[in-house]
A and B are shown apart, each in its own frame.
Chain A
């Protein structure tokens, strides 16, 4: 090994390897901020920077650890000896479907994503999921045609693609979850009757006069109405 600069303990630096190249970065930074500290400016690999968009999927190994870890760069703190690379893109085919014509029966997922049947229950997808979702369980539920279960288990999916890139059966899990959730939301959850009624009222113009009156109202009068408006009970309804 070449000579290494000593880590200055007072500044608490850690040594990370970005695509194999060594950089000293302050301890406590996220992987995302550490790469920026080292001089990288993202075009790909950064999106919301808050754990919601899945743009910063990152895989890494640690010194002396055989495991390939997967996580979000914006939500993971750097560790000394981390070897890491970000995934700029995950190629995965999304089925196209017409939600109005789709048949919400138990075979529908297999019809659009037949590769689901190739699942070997290895659980690699679950281990790779940065959201700690039970990915394999929802793929198995998809296989059984249990759409509700797929929708619920996959709900927190941020579609980063780490499951799909690791899957030996070459399933694109996150697309499967998307389809199931839309079918569940559209066909299996009960529709809100109060919403339908309100839409009818609006279309019939029920509120138009009242709104027009408000639009023309002076600020003084609006203030008066606003300041004495009734506020629905504070008591919080049960969760």
Chain B
């Protein structure tokens, strides 16, 4: 049920529904897309980005919120950490317990590293990650009318040709291998009785290659990977985020300093190889946007790797998902999966009119929503002043039959039903929300992190923290795939690497050097990073807080 004013608009949506079933708006031409993006995509807003003043990617444009964390001082001074006492000595340290980190752990294990020599250090619980929240699906070109080459073209076109070709090649060629591995682990993909994968389109795909497990795809993948990691006995340190990478005297990455958030002590982990799998920056609320991201998505890995010399790329582009919930207030910004549109839910304005093809690439789709709301003023306004576009979900059951929404969009149905909106009967209100870090630290196709002079020995990266795979815009279903493909690559290559690697004396000299550089650039000592967690405490409470205990 919606407030009265909104209900009036719902009636208009209902009136045009039959007509809209017959025809979709034309897809835009390349020129139309370009013009729309320039005018309405938040990436093009003046003053939202700035040039980095320090480090190996000095001069790169970054969103201010991210630059603030990169141009910030360490949480503690390197001299305050005693590196002579090592708490954990291991072959592989994986920083981050999401989809990429857990896939890396399993593939390192398959490639001969003993489970007791693999440590996953994670800030929250194992599996508290954006992987868990990925609803729509995972792409893989495994149908006869599809091929990795066609997938390649979709990825690079969607990414505005900025992607790193060797990474795209790996992504699309390994995709079917990943789905096969998942099948063997027992992940319950949506299938027809004969085993054929049920696949749909995503924004910007030219073939139906979106594999799903209802709209709990990421959750199903994550909980199975985690179950398997527990079965094989991989060590997991929860609530123990890394706060700084360690290096040895030769400049190899050699582990990390962890922080036990509950007892507030630090641990020194000495590792032959370190895999960065910390995810992205979604909780930085770039340009004040609400977010679909989990609580810990604060770009910690980006900050630590940068201090250790990792190059950044494509950090100037941010992904806003076209459909974040805009009503009710309690779920503001939370993800409404693209699958709602894949299954036939159309975006319509306050008068029930179509204004954009439902499955344009995400940046284009989001920009069209912003145009409809802020230039054409054809949006719905909620009682708290939020603007939004209707996503006409009842169409799904008109196309696919009754019961489809509960069966294939169970999570969405449940989320809205909790707040008394039945998406089978009424449309849902959406608006773009901060979703994904398109760029990140640069890797090669073996998931090795690159610095000023090529590979940084001992450091690998996988998942949202790395950049280059998606160029300037990621397509739906390629982020889960990225975590798995590059998690696997990182695990395999780290396993190879540790067979020969030797670690020298541990040092935090790189952090000291970074402090010097910050000082030289006249950056004031007022910001510290990594952030670890956002702070959502009420202003009134914070104003009265005293630090005496």
A194 and B411 contacting across the interface, CB-CB below 8 Å: no
A214 and B157 contacting across the interface, CB-CB below 8 Å: no
Given A43-B261, A190-B194; A199-B176 close (CB under 8 Å): yes
A232 to B205, CA, bound (A): 9
Min distance, Cβ B294 to any Cβ of chain A, angstroms: 4
Pick out which of these stretches binds chain A: B82-90, B147-155, B302-310, B507-515: B147-155
Residue in A50, A184, A186, A227 with the greatest tally of chain B CB atoms within 10 Å: A50
Bits for B381-413, please: 1 = Cβ < 8 Å to A, else 0. Answer: 000000000000000100111001001101100
Could you say which residues of chain B place their CB within 8 Å of the CB of A86? Answer: none
Pick out which of these stretches binds chain A: B47-55, B125-133, B472-480, B518-526: B125-133
B173 and A184 contacting across the interface, CB-CB below 8 Å: no
A95 to B207, CA, bound (A): 41
Chain B CB within 8 A of A52 CB: yes
Could you say which residues of chain A place their CB within 8 Å of the CB of B144? Answer: 194
Which of B186, B407, B419, B538 has a CB less than 8 Å from the CB of A186?
A: B186
A226 to B163, CA, bound (A): 14
Chain A CB within 8 A of B313 CB: no
Min distance, Cβ A89 to any Cβ of chain B, angstroms: 9
A38 and B133 contacting across the interface, CB-CB below 8 Å: no
Chain B CB within 8 A of A66 CB: no
Chain B CB within 8 A of A58 CB: no
B165 and A215 contacting across the interface, CB-CB below 8 Å: yes
Chain B CB within 8 A of A118 CB: no
Chain A CB within 8 A of B249 CB: no
Chain A CB within 8 A of B7 CB: no
Chain A CB within 8 A of B185 CB: yes
Could you say which residues of chain B place their CB within 8 Å of the CB of A182? Answer: 185-186, 224, 227
Given A47-B128, A207-B173, A223-B161; A229-B186 close (CB under 8 Å): no
A48 and B295 contacting across the interface, CB-CB below 8 Å: yes
A227 and B216 contacting across the interface, CB-CB below 8 Å: no
Which of A181, A198, A231 has a CB less than 8 Å from the CB of B186?
A: A181
Given A195-B183, A199-B176, A232-B145; A211-B541 close (CB under 8 Å): no
Could you say which residues of chain B place their CB within 8 Å of the CB of A199? Answer: 142, 176-177, 180
Pick out which of these stretches binds chain B: A138-146, A155-163, A165-173: A155-163
Chain A residue, CB-CB nearest to B157: A226
Could you say which residues of chain B place their CB within 8 Å of the CB of A238? Answer: 400-401
Pick out which of these stretches binds chain B: A2-10, A26-34, A119-127: A26-34
B214 and A156 contacting across the interface, CB-CB below 8 Å: yes
A217 to B542, CA, bound (A): 56
Residue in A40, A207, A212 with the greatest tally of chain B CB atoms within 10 Å: A207
Chain B residue, CB-CB nearest to A210: B149
Within 8 A of A (CB), among B223-281: 223-224, 227-228, 230-231, 233, 239, 261-262
A190 and B188 contacting across the interface, CB-CB below 8 Å: no
B128 and A202 contacting across the interface, CB-CB below 8 Å: no
Bits for B444-465, please: 1 = Cβ < 8 Å to A, else 0. Answer: 0000000000000000000000
Min distance, Cβ B171 to any Cβ of chain A, angstroms: 11
Chain A residue, CB-CB nearest to B193: A190
A43 and B533 contacting across the interface, CB-CB below 8 Å: yes
Name the 7 nearest CB pairs between A and B, nearest first: A39-B541, A190-B195, A239-B400, A182-B186, A226-B157, A186-B186, A185-B186
Can you list 16 A-B contacts with CB-CB less than 8 angstroms, sorted by A residue number?
Answer: A28-B330, A41-B535, A52-B218, A94-B227, A99-B231, A155-B188, A181-B186, A181-B224, A185-B224, A192-B142, A192-B191, A198-B143, A210-B148, A227-B157, A229-B153, A234-B24
With A151-B188, A215-B165 given, can you name 18 additional A-B contacts, CB distance below 8 Å?
A51-B334, A51-B415, A53-B133, A75-B418, A181-B224, A185-B185, A192-B183, A192-B196, A195-B197, A202-B177, A210-B147, A212-B169, A214-B149, A215-B166, A223-B157, A232-B145, A232-B206, A239-B407
